[in-house]
Structure formats: structure tokens, C-alpha cells
Amino acid sequence: MLDDNSTTSVLHDPLLAFVAANRGSATSAHIRTVTLFGFTPDQVLVAKNLLWGVNIAARHLGENPKRVTRQARTASEAHLSDVLEALRKLDNANQLPRIAVYASDLHLVSRVRAGDIDVVSLAERLQDVESALQDLQSPRERISTASPAPNVRAFVNHKDCKVVALHKVSHDNAPSQSFCLTEISESSASTIATLSSRATMKLRVASLNSKGLGAGKIDYIESLFNSHDLVLLQEHWQLQEQLVVFNTIQGVACHGASAMDSSRLILGRPYGGVAILWRSALCICFSPVPCNSQRICAVKASSTTGEHLFLVINVYMPTDSAANLQEYDDVLRELSTLLETNGNDRVILGERVGSDLHIKFNAAKSQLLLFNPGQHREVSPVYFSGAFVSQSMEAVHLGHLISPDIKLPPIRSAEDLTRRTNILASRFGHCGLEVKYRLFRAHCMSAYGSSLWNLQDAAPYFCAWRKCLRRLLHLPRTTHRHLLPPLVHDFYPDYQIHRRSMHFMSACCTSGNAIVQRRFKEIIIGSRSAVSDSLTIMCAKYNLDRENLPTSLKKPIAEPNRTAAALRDFMLLREETGDF
């Protein structure tokens, strides 16, 4: 180090300070990784020039090396290597300058030490975190959220204590109960603030289609509460007056609805009915929400202070037959009314659509789609079976891109077409015309989900098709687009997409599903959907009747094109000779 009487000024630079501080505890590779991540190329160059500007630089470091490259990342790595080498030389000569950081530049210094990115260091710190979590979990298991015993509360009130909160801190299975009193004092101000803040609670929910309450069903429902806090029940087959049977389950409260009218004669076996059961010991107050549908049961959850927490809705949907279509719409309309009148970001919705489906949700393969998330301050997290469901602005389902931007699917398909064509051209560019186009059609022109495109926005895909075909066949860029389909004996790309869309619409029109038929009739009448706009375009182009769609489009009659035929012959001749 320089002695205290040296006239050398102090170097003020956050990058030099970070590098100098980590030289003794990390490798050069780790220092480069963290430094290049936290500092810009300009900051690296400024630090290097500042280091070479000291009085002793010429004697120990020599001339400042110049790095000329077109890549900013490569230049930054070279400059940073020069800085590390210069600091090493100055340290060996015992001439390392003093390095400091201005207070205004402290935020530029990375809080991560360079040695922390080492795998061994990460494993050690992860082990420390796991040990700390285990230490926290042990006392947490001994804390119960149950209400204090009445005799303890009465004793506290009898002593006239100024108590802010009375909490039970012993476990439910403990031999004796212990309670914590928080009194009003200056020293307990921080404790009061902590107690008044919202706590995080995990609610375990189960859904069950009981198909009646026969022998052993009540006992089975009671056993569910050993591992669950809330049970959504469907098809209990009970009258409204018979729902008191759930009161026989100890420590459980219930709110339900019957699908049968007790004032009328009931023919056949019982049917329907929904109910919501919850543990009475929860620190949550559940209040029934009136519903106008016998297929819906809802309760509103609130905290002990009256704060609205979430809404629980249990629904038993009708089957998708034509006879139940009106009732299906009525249930959806009632659900919409419930959500509007009891608005809350957190909704637990239980639904049963048929016991034969055996649907299992996989959180790892599920996504929560957000449409216009900027309109909401916060989007509450969603969990399936305890696993967090990731949030996304767009997703791909059955090849179709679901996105708020309706113009995006054709653009993504055009990008996929270009990427696949580049791979095909690099591997099979030496093949003949027929082979290359057959591979192009089979492996590049997938266009999954094109049946749901808005054909007004499909121009990017058609343009990409023409460019890719010219590149694959080694044609000039000026080759007219009308020559391309005759060259490969195929239809125009817009006709191919139109034919797919018409086949999809015809399938929807003749579907055996009553709900699909009804929704497609709304498209035929006219809607703002992309499929309705595409149908309008095809009806105008091919002179179709909107209410009487064909099963497929008629094959367009292509006029003979001598230019295209001659060009195709020349291309085949070039392939045969190999040097045309």
C-alpha cells in the first residue's frame, strides 16, 4: 500500500472498489461474472482509464492497452481483465492506490459477493437457510390459532386488565393450555402493530360428490376434516329440512341448498343438492350468501375484525344436453351476478361436471392467463394441490395461441414457419424440387390453430410463406407470387388456410354438442369474435350463404400459366444436369 505521506489522490469508483474488495476471496472468473452483470461497458472503461491515470501507472503498468472490437461484451471482458491484471501488479509492487466510493454511488456496488456464486458456497448457504427454517417450524407447530378458553377470558375480565389481545400459544394436544396477554404500554407498541397486521393462512379444501348420504357416508365426510378445513359437497340428495343431519358432525358447521321442493310430490330417486361444510374452530367467520339457483351454494368468509377475505361458491352444473341448455345459461348468469355483487379478488369455485370424466389438474402444466392485468392492483396467487400456478399473459393450447392481442397468432406462426424452413434448407437443400416441397408442406406448414385466426390479420403468414418458398427453391426474390403455387402444383396459401377454417366451422355447425351449436349460431348471426370476422371474409370471397355453409370449399379452377410451366421445366432440368 502507499504510505500516508504519498501525494497520490484517492480513486473514487464503485467498480474498482468492488473488484479490489473481492480479489482475496473469489476467483477471477467469479469476479468477471458478477462485475459484467452489475456494471455497463462504459463503467468498465471509465474504471480502467481511471486506474491508468494514477501517477505510478506508467512505471508499473505500462501503456494503457486499447481494445478494438465490434462486440461490447467482448470489449468489456478485455477491459476488465486489464483491470484485474493491473490491480495484481500494483499489489505485488506494494503500490495499490486507495479506492473509495462516493455515497451517491453506493447503490452501484453489488450486494452479492463474487464468491457467493460458487456452487459450494451456494450449497452451504442453502443448508444454513434450511436449518433456520427448521428452527422456525418447531415453535410454529406449537402455536394454535384457536380461541382462548372461556374461563381464561372470564378470569382476565374479572381482574380488570387492560388487555389488547389474548392468544393461545399452546398446541391443541398439549396437556395444559397456555395463553399470552398483550397489555397497553409503550414497550408493547411494536407487538400491537404486528398483531393487527394480516396473517397468512393455508386453507385446505376438498370436493366430494357423495351421491346421497347412505351408510357410512357421514362418517367418511367427518374423516375428511382430519386433513381438510373446507368440504364442498355435491349430490347429497337431501331436502332442505334434512340438512340438519350435518350438525351431527362434531366441530363442523354447514350451509347448503336442496334441489328438491318438499312442497311437491317427489317421484323416483332423490337427486341434486349442494352444501359447504367448514370447521367451526377456524379463525374465519362464514356467512351464507343468498342464491337464486338450487345448483349454487355460496358463503362469504371474513376475518374476526369484519374484513372480507374471500368468497366460496359450490356449483353442480347440469349436463350439456339440449334439454338443459337454458338451465346451464341460468346457472352461469347467477354465477356472474354473485361475483359482481360480492366482488372480491379471491374466489374459491368448486364445480362438478360428471363423475365419469376423472379430470386431474396438474399445476406444473397449468397457467393462469391474465387479460388486461393493468386494470387490477394485484392478482392473487392460485394454487392446485398446494402447488403454485404460474401467471402468464399468453399460452398455447392445442396449437392455438391464446393472447389478448388477436394479431399475434399469425405472426407467431410466420416466425415458426421461417425457423422450420431454415432448418429444412440447411439439411435438405440438395434434394429435388418435389422432395423439398413435400418436406416443406409436411414439416413447416403446420399452422396449428389457424382455424381460429382472424383472416384480416393473416397477411404476415402469407408473406412468410412466399419468402420461405423462394429461399427453399433457390428462386430470386423478385419471383412473382402468382408463379409460386403452379411451380409446386399446390394451392395458394390463403386458400389452404380458408379451407381449414371452413372445415372447422362446418364441424361446429353440425356438432352433436348443443352448447357448441348454440355458440356457433351466435357467430353466424354476427359477433365481434375473430371467427365471425373470418366467416364474413370467406362468404364475400367465395360467394357463400352465411346460414348454409358447405362442408368444404370448392377447388378453385386455376388458369394455365405458361410462364410457371416453363420455369418449372427449367428447374427440373437444372436438377437433372446439376450444372444448369
**343 with 302, same domain?**
yes
Task: Reduce the DSSP state of residue 283 to 3 states and report it.
Answer: coil
pLDDT of residue 464: 92
**540 with 420, same domain?**
yes
Check if the beta carbon of residue 549 is closer than 8 Å to that of residue 502. yes
Q: Label residue 78 exposed, middle or buried (CB < 10 Å: 0-12, 13-18, 19+).
A: middle
Q: What residue has cell string 400459366? A: 561
**500 with 564, same domain?**
yes
Rounded to the nearest 5°, which phi and psi values hold at 428? -125, 25
Check if the beta carbon of residue 14 is closer than 8 Å to that of residue 101. yes
Beta pairing partners, 350: 314
Q: What residue has cell string 479506492? A: 99
Q: Count Cβ atoms below 10 Å from residue 504 Cβ, excluding itself.
A: 16
Domain assignment of residue 386, yes or no: no
Domain assignment of residue 134, yes or no: no
471 sits in the region (left: phi over 0; alpha: psi -120 to 50; else beta) called: alpha
**289 with 253, same domain?**
yes
DSSP code, position 54 = S
Per-residue pLDDT of the chain (580 residues; tens, 9 = 90+): 444 444 456 888 888 888 888 887 788 888 888 888 888 888 888 888 888 888 777 677 777 777 666 555 577 888 888 888 888 888 888 888 888 888 888 888 877 777 777 777 777 778 788 878 777 766 555 554 444 555 555 555 554 544 445 455 444 444 444 445 444 433 333 232 232 333 456 778 888 888 888 778 888 888 888 888 888 888 888 888 888 888 888 888 888 888 877 666 666 667 788 899 988 888 788 888 888 888 888 888 887 777 777 888 888 887 766 677 778 788 888 888 887 777 655 666 665 554 444 555 666 777 888 776 555 556 777 776 667 888 888 887 766 777 777 788 888 889 999 999 999 988 888 888 888 888 998 888 888 788 888 888 899 999 999 999 999 888 888 888 888 888 888 888 888 888 888 888 888 888 888 788 887 888 877 777 888 888 888 888 888 888 787 777 766 545 557 777 788 888 888 777 765 4
Name residue 481's amino acid.
Answer: R
End-of-domain residue from the set 359, 387, 420: 359
Is the C-alpha dihedral spanning 161, 164, 170, 173 positive or negative?
Answer: positive
Q: Give the tens place of pLDDT for each residue, 63-89.
A: 777 766 655 557 788 888 888 888 888
**429 with 548, same domain?**
yes
DSSP code, position 431 = S
pLDDT of residue 491: 84
Q: Domain span at residue 567?
A: 408-573
**Euclidean distance between CA atoms 382 and 232, whole angstroms:** 18
**Euclidean distance between CA atoms 227 and 252, whole angstroms:** 13
**415 with 321, same domain?**
no
**Euclidean distance between CA atoms 515 and 530, whole angstroms:** 19
**214 with 316, same domain?**
yes
Check if the beta carbon of residue 283 is closer than 8 Å to that of residue 320. no
Domain assignment of residue 321, yes or no: yes
Rounded to the nearest 5°, which phi and psi values hold at 570? -65, -40
Query: Distances from the Cα of 190 to the Cαs of 136, 293, 325, in angstroms?
Result: 20, 48, 58
Is the C-alpha dihedral spanning 73, 76, 82, 86 positive or negative?
Answer: negative
Domain assignment of residue 132, yes or no: no
**325 with 296, same domain?**
yes
Task: Reduce the DSSP state of residue 309 to 3 states and report it.
Answer: strand
End-of-domain residue from the set 359, 391, 423: 359
**Cβ neighbours of residue 363 under 8 Å, at least 6 residues apart?**
383, 384, 385, 387, 388, 389
In degrees to the nearest 10, what's the CA dihedral of 446, 450, 456, 461? -10
Check if the beta carbon of residue 314 is closer than 8 Å to that of residue 234. yes
Which stretch of DSSP H or E encloses residue 329? helix 325-341
Domain assignment of residue 391, yes or no: no
Check if the beta carbon of residue 248 is closer than 8 Å to that of residue 218. yes
End-of-domain residue from the set 196, 216, 234: 196
**Euclidean distance between CA atoms 365 and 389, whole angstroms:** 9
Sheet holding 205-209, edge to edge: 205-209, 230-234, 274-279, 252-257
**Euclidean distance between CA atoms 63 and 57, whole angstroms:** 8
Q: What's the total number of domains in the chain?
A: 4
Rounded to the nearest 5°, which phi and psi values hold at 65? -70, 140
Domain assignment of residue 27, yes or no: yes
Quote the Cα angle for 464-540-499, to 5°: 50
Query: Distances from the Cα of 482 to the Cαs of 39, 479, 559, in angstroms?
Result: 53, 9, 11
Domain assignment of residue 50, yes or no: yes
Domain assignment of residue 70, yes or no: yes
**72 with 215, same domain?**
no
Which ranges constitute the DSSP H helices of 103-259?
Answer: 119-141, 150-158, 189-196, 217-224
**291 with 428, same domain?**
no
Q: Domain holding 268: CATH number?
A: 3.60.10.10
Q: Give the tens place of pLDDT for each residue, 168-192.
A: 544 444 444 444 544 443 333 323 2
**288 with 430, same domain?**
no
pLDDT of residue 557: 47
**233 with 96, same domain?**
no
Name residue 245's amino acid.
Answer: V
Alpha carbons within 13 A on the beta-carbon side of 451? 13
The bridge status of strand 308-316 relative to strand 347-352 is parallel
Q: What residue has cell string 411451380? A: 487
